[in-house]
Amino acid sequence: MLFFTIFFIISFPKKTHRKTNIPPPPPNLVSRGRAYNAHRQTNKQTETPPRAKMKSRPTNILPAVPFLLLLFLSPPSPATGAAADASVYQSFLRCLETNTAPEDKISDLVYSPTNRTFNSVLQAYIRNSRLNTSSTPKPSIIITPTKIPHIQAAVLCTKAAGYQLKTRSGGHDYEGLSYVSDSPFFILDMFNFRSIEIDAAAKSGWVQAGATLGELYYRIWQKSNVLGFPAGICPTVGVGGHLSGAGYGNLLRKYGLSTDNVVDAQIVDVNGKLLDRASMGEDLFWAIRGGGGASFGVIIAYKIVLVPVPETVTVFRVEKYLEQNATDMAYQWQLVAPKTTKDLFMRMLLQPVSSKTKKGETTVRASVLAEYLGNADSLVALLGKEFPELGLKKEDCLEMSWIQSVLWWGLDNETNPAVLLSRQPESVNFGKRKSDYVQNPIPKASLEWIWKKMIESGKTGFVFNPYGGAMDEVPATETPFPHRAGNLYKIQYSISWKEAGVEAEKKYLGQIRRIYSYMTPFVSKNPRSAYLNYRDLDIGIVQPASKNSFDEGKVYGGKYFNGNFERLVKVKTAVDPHNFFWNEQSIPVLPSVLKFGSKH
C-alpha cells in the first residue's frame, strides 16, 4: 500500500483548478422517483449546451499530496450498512474542497448517513424495491455533482480513499449495480447533469447522462414534430445508462440501436481527465457505445443524431387468448415481425392470466403492440396480406403524432407531453428480469408446451421484441452490442410482485428462473446470449478482490458481448489498468495486469 501511495504522489503534479463553460443546472429539480430493485446473486439547466470547451490535452484535477498520503495510510471503514466513519467523511470532503472552487460549496453536495436527507437522496432513484430493504448494503457517501470539476475530483478522491465508486444516472439497472455493492462504496449521483441541447437544423443534440428519456423526447418535440430519437419507451430511464448499454425502442428496425446514433461523447476517465471523442480515441469511444460506460469512466454526455419521423404514425394493440387461436398468431408473428417493412415495429407480450371463458382456470394472453411510420389504411392493407392471423381492423388503429405515440407506449392514457418531464415512475414494485435471443422460429407444438409451463410456473411474462430491418444491416463488430443479423427477436422475461420479504422473493425468483431454464432448447447457444441493459446477475459475476476476474468475466461477458468481449477487455486494460471502475459485471482487465496489484 505504501508503494502505491508513493507511486500515486509521484505520478501526478500539483493540481490546477480548471473551469469549464458548462452552466450549472437549475436549482429546482424535478420530482424524483420512489424505490427500485436489485438482488445480489453470490453464487454464480436550462437548455444550455452540455459541452465543455476542451483543450487538446485535458488537464487533471489532483488532490493535495499530504492529504492523499493520509488517506492511503488510513484504511477505509469496512462497514457499508452503517454510517460512514466520520474521519473518512471529513477527509473525503477536505479532498473535494481542495480540488474544487471555494464558491462551489462542495460540502452542500455530499451526503453521509448522518445527514437528514441522506435516505431521500439515496431512494430518489431506486426503481426496484428488491434492492431497497433494510438489509440492502448502503453507500458510505453520496456525491451529487453540479459541475464537471466536481466529478473529476470525486473520481480522484474516491480512488485515494480506497472505496468503490458507483455512478447512477436514472437508477434503472435491473440489479441495482449503480447504487448497491457488497464492498465499501460511494455513489456519484448524476441527476443534476440533465442539460439537453437540441439543434433541429443540424438534426443533432447533446444530452447529459442524468437526463431521462422522457426529458429528451420532450426537448426534441419542442424543436420539431418530425424528428425523433430511437430509444426506450420508459420515460424515467436515465440517458447515461441506456445509451452506454446500447439502448433500443420502437424505431429499432428503422434506425437501429440508440448507440448506433451516437457520434460523440464526454467522459471523465480514471485519472480525472475530461475527454471527448477526439481525445479519448476510437477504441474507448467504441467501448462506451454498448459496452457499459461504468466500466470505463463517468459518462458526462452524448452527442446524438436525430432521425426523421412522419407527421402521422399509427399504433395498435390486438389481444388474443389461447382459446382464440393465440398460438397461431404467436407462431406467425415470428415469421412476420422480423421480416416486414422496417417502418413497422410489432412487439408481442405473453402473460398468464385468468381465463374469461373458463372460471377458475388460467390461460395465456398474447398481445401485439405496434408502431407504424405511416397511416392506418396502408398498415391494415399490409398486415391483411402478411399477417391475417392477427385480424387487424382499422378500428384497432390510432393515428397520432410521434410524440403522442411516446405517451401511448410509456404512459397509457396521458396526452400532455409535459408529463414526460416527471421523474417519478407510476409504480415501483419488486422485480426481476432476464433475457434471451431467438434465432429460429419456435414450432407451434413447442409454443403450446411453453404455454403450459408458463401457467404451471406462476406469473412470469414474456416480451418478444423483433429484430431485422436496420439490425440486419449493421456489422456485429460495429459497436460492442453483437446481437444483430441472425437473430429473429429478443425475449425479455419479466416478473414483478408487491409482497415484501425473503419468502416472497424466493418464490418469484424461482418462478422466473424455472421458465428461463425451460426455454433453453429454443434460444441461442454457445453462448446463450443476453442483453446488457437487461442486467442479470444469474448469468455470472466477478467477486470482489478476485484473482480470476478475467475468467469470471468471460462467463457473463461472452453472453452480453459474444466475440466483442476480448476487445472490450483490451480497451479496459488500456484505460483503467488497476480496475478502479469495477462492479459485479464490469469488463475485467487482462490477467497479466492483475499480477501487478489491481485493487479488485
The single residue listed with the C-alpha cell 457488497 is 182
Indicate if 359 and 504 belong to the same structural domain: yes
Mean local confidence (pLDDT), 565-590: 97
Residue 3, pLDDT score: 35
Indicate if 576 and 496 belong to the same structural domain: no
- Specify if 237 maps to a domain: no
Residue 547, pLDDT score: 72
- Specify if 338 maps to a domain: yes
C-beta atoms surrounding 395 within 10 Å = 9
Indicate if 471 and 572 belong to the same structural domain: no
Question: What CATH number has the domain bearing residue 63?
Answer: 3.30.43.10
**Does residue 529 carry a pLDDT above 70?**
yes
Domain boundary among 189, 224, 255: 189
Residue 334, pLDDT score: 99
Comparing 554 with 42, the larger pLDDT belongs to 554
Domain of 565? 540-594
C-beta atoms surrounding 595 within 10 Å = 9
Number of alpha helices (DSSP H) and beta strands (DSSP E) in the chain:
18, 18
Comparing 42 with 565, the larger pLDDT belongs to 565
Indicate if 588 and 450 belong to the same structural domain: no
Three-class SS of residue 554? helix
Mean local confidence (pLDDT), 319-332: 97
Domain count, the chain: 3
- Specify if 255 maps to a domain: no
Indicate if 358 and 463 belong to the same structural domain: yes
Comparing 56 with 382, the larger pLDDT belongs to 382
In the chain, % of residues over pLDDT 70? 84
Question: What CATH number has the domain bearing residue 470?
Answer: 3.40.462.20
Distance CA 466, CA 552 (A): 31
Indicate if 171 and 44 belong to the same structural domain: yes
**Does residue 401 carry a pLDDT above 60?**
yes
The model's confidence at residue 16, banded by pLDDT at 50, 70 and 90, is very low
Residue 86, pLDDT score: 81
C-beta atoms surrounding 566 within 10 Å = 13
Indicate if 68 and 29 belong to the same structural domain: yes
Q: Cite the beta strand spans of 247-328 per DSSP E.
A: 262-268, 274-275, 298-305, 307-308, 313-321
Indicate if 572 and 449 belong to the same structural domain: no
Among 436, 434, 480, 354, smallest CA distance to 41 is for 434
Distance CA 189, CA 184 (A): 16
Residue 592, pLDDT score: 76
Three-class SS of residue 300? strand
- Cα-Cα-Cα-Cα torsion 538, 542, 546, 552, nearest 10 degrees, comes to 90
Residue 10, pLDDT score: 31
Mean local confidence (pLDDT), 82-96: 82
Which tens digit of pLDDT belongs to each residue from 28-69?
322 222 232 333 333 333 333 344 433 333 344 443 433 343
Q: Print the SS3 string covering 460-527.
A: CEEEEEECCHHHHCCCCCCCCCCCCCCCCEEEEEEEEECCCCHHHHHHHHHHHHHHHHHCHHHCCCCC
Residue 548, pLDDT score: 79
- Specify if 251 maps to a domain: no
Three-class SS of residue 346? strand
**Does residue 79 carry a pLDDT above 50?**
no
Among 554, 547, 530, smallest CA distance to 592 is for 547
- 38 Rama class: left (phi>0) / alpha (psi -120 to 50) / beta: left
Indicate if 434 and 576 belong to the same structural domain: no
φ, ψ of residue 407 in degrees (nearest 5): -65, -40
**Does residue 233 carry a pLDDT above 90?**
yes
Sheet holding 274-275, edge to edge: 196-199, 204-208, 298-305, 262-268, 274-275
**Does residue 182 carry a pLDDT above 70?**
yes
Domain boundary among 189, 204, 223: 189
Whole-model pTM? 0.86
Residue 558, pLDDT score: 98
Residue 544, pLDDT score: 79
Mean local confidence (pLDDT), 366-388: 99
Domain boundary among 150, 165, 189: 189
Indicate if 512 and 546 belong to the same structural domain: no
- Specify if 406 maps to a domain: no
- Specify if 243 maps to a domain: no
DSSP string, 232-257: -S-TTSBHHHHHHT----TTHHHH--
- Specify if 97 maps to a domain: yes
Indicate if 330 and 472 belong to the same structural domain: yes
Comparing 594 with 463, the larger pLDDT belongs to 463
Residue 591, pLDDT score: 87
The model's confidence at residue 593, banded by pLDDT at 50, 70 and 90, is low
Residues carrying an active site annotation: 534
Indicate if 335 and 477 belong to the same structural domain: yes
Mean local confidence (pLDDT), 154-164: 97
Mean local confidence (pLDDT), 151-171: 97
φ, ψ of residue 253 in degrees (nearest 5): -75, -20
Among 371, 379, 385, smallest CA distance to 332 is for 385
Distance CA 242, CA 302 (A): 11
Mean pLDDT of all residues in the chain? Answer: 87
- Specify if 277 maps to a domain: no
**Does residue 355 carry a pLDDT above 80?**
yes
Which tens digit of pLDDT belongs to each residue from 406-436?
999 988 878 899 999 999 876 789 999 999 9
